[in-house]
Structure 1
């Protein structure tokens, strides 16, 4: 029996992953261009946060574009509930949720060894980068209420097919960024005396590289599934 191939789904997945990998590549190219990596931990001197924000926003726009005709498949009640999650109150709730997640990441960084009274700006930048790579995409896509349901592992009733695809791919960003930031701490205590060992440079770079590796893994899964369908059709 030939495996069914969903061309639209595959296109969205590949475009989504391409945006993720391009975001990481642009960030790394920008840091290399600046040469002095000390700017990475500076909120007003670095473009890392705007670049990551733009990349995540583009992925949400892609999901909206791919699903522009799918909302007609939702019931009137589901459409009404979906619209309610993008009211002014829910938008404020989404912003508050991202702020609280940033504070939580900053607290975790401090618990794991970041200075409490020093380098607070660097800790905030790292926490904000992690928030943008983990929580923010879901907030941008589903609003405050929908993202809260996802965080508590509840089923969101109004999801379209394109939104489900994006949510499935967002997890590679999140897992890769968290593990990458944690793994980046390994080089900090080494006595190499390199400028890029200064906190939070290894953690930010680790989050970016972890995000990139996560998306490469997801891309390999998509390409493998596509190749499997192609050879299945060729044999039949």
Structure 2
């Protein structure tokens, strides 16, 4: 009989500090590089250069989560032998999963009203952003481990580390992307209403909100655990 999937709800003070500081810093950086150039008519302005900026923001999300993973996991990985073959296999498997998520979100966008033939590049870049804020962090922090993904999303039992962050931020990213679609059909005739700008901004904003909410949630849960131990 298989053992039940349980989460690890203990967390060290150092790991908690790294998660909170890393999450808050990441959210601030993403918000600044997204909204400061807004309407700045520069290469970093998503209105002037939506596809290029979406690539840049997607890469930024993945890069920041890579740093977060290093800060929170490198201690636990000490003493483990480095095996190049396993690393290459893991990278290739993750790349395939990420590519599949691009196709999945592209199809979902079309099902929700995106043009099937026209604006294919725009739809693909939206799928890239949504994959980078949902599947990308999962692959970085949990790798392509089906059991871990099932425990986090199916059984809703993430640990109090980065699993909680990717669980909450993945949901808020999808919700943010959905909410971002509402301004598109309005007759305001604003340049930022063009597809997929508002949905990209919605996904990214939802992601930032998610990692901030996750930080607060983890701190509250740790506080409750410590308070319970003292009583």
- What RMSD in Å do the two structures reach over aligned CA positions? 3.3
Distance in 1 separating the partners of 2:92 and 2:64: 22
* Residues 20, 55 of structure 1: 8 Å contact kept: yes
Distance in 1 separating the partners of 2:107 and 2:136: 18
2:35 alignment partner in structure 1: 29
Structure with the larger RCO, 1 or 2 (CA within 8 Å, 6+ apart): 1
Structure 1 residues 140 and 5 mapped into 2: Cα distance closer, same or farther (>3 Å)? Answer: closer
Unaligned runs of 5+ in 1: 73-78, 156-162
1:93 alignment partner in structure 2: 93
Q: Does residue 1:184 correspond to 2:180, yes or no?
A: yes
2:74 alignment partner in structure 1: 65
1:150 alignment partner in structure 2: 148
Structure 1 residues 154 and 212 mapped into 2: Cα distance closer, same or farther (>3 Å)? Answer: closer
* Residues 172, 206 of structure 2: 8 Å contact kept: yes
Using structure 1 for the length normalisation, give the TM-score: 0.74
Counterpart secondary structure, 1:38: coil
Distance in 2 separating the partners of 1:31 and 1:105: 27
Q: Which moved more, 1:219-228 or 1:12-21?
A: 219-228
Structure 1 residues 206 and 90 mapped into 2: Cα distance closer, same or farther (>3 Å)? Answer: same
Q: In the TM superposition, what is the alpha-carbon distance from 1:43 to its structure 2 partner? A: 4.0
Q: Does residue 1:171 correspond to 2:167, yes or no?
A: yes
Q: In the TM superposition, what is the alpha-carbon distance from 1:171 to its structure 2 partner? A: 1.2
Q: Does residue 1:12 correspond to 2:1, yes or no?
A: no
Structure 1 residues 23 and 56 mapped into 2: Cα distance closer, same or farther (>3 Å)? Answer: farther
Structure 1 residues 59 and 40 mapped into 2: Cα distance closer, same or farther (>3 Å)? Answer: farther
Distance in 2 separating the partners of 1:184 and 1:56: 23
Distance in 2 separating the partners of 1:221 and 1:164: 9
- Deviation per CA, 1:114-146: give whole Å up to 9, x if none: 1111111111111111111111122223433x2
Distance in 1 separating the partners of 2:113 and 2:85: 38
Counterpart secondary structure, 1:138: helix
Distance in 2 separating the partners of 1:5 and 1:182: 33
Distance in 2 separating the partners of 1:66 and 1:18: 21
Q: In the TM superposition, what is the alpha-carbon distance from 1:172 to its structure 2 partner? A: 2.0
1:134 alignment partner in structure 2: 134
Number of residue pairs aligned between Structure 1 and Structure 2: 212
Q: Does residue 1:206 correspond to 2:202, yes or no?
A: yes
1:102 alignment partner in structure 2: 102
Distance in 2 separating the partners of 1:202 and 1:191: 14
Using structure 2 for the length normalisation, give the TM-score: 0.76
Q: In the TM superposition, what is the alpha-carbon distance from 1:38 to its structure 2 partner? A: 3.1
Q: Does residue 1:48 correspond to 2:20, yes or no?
A: no
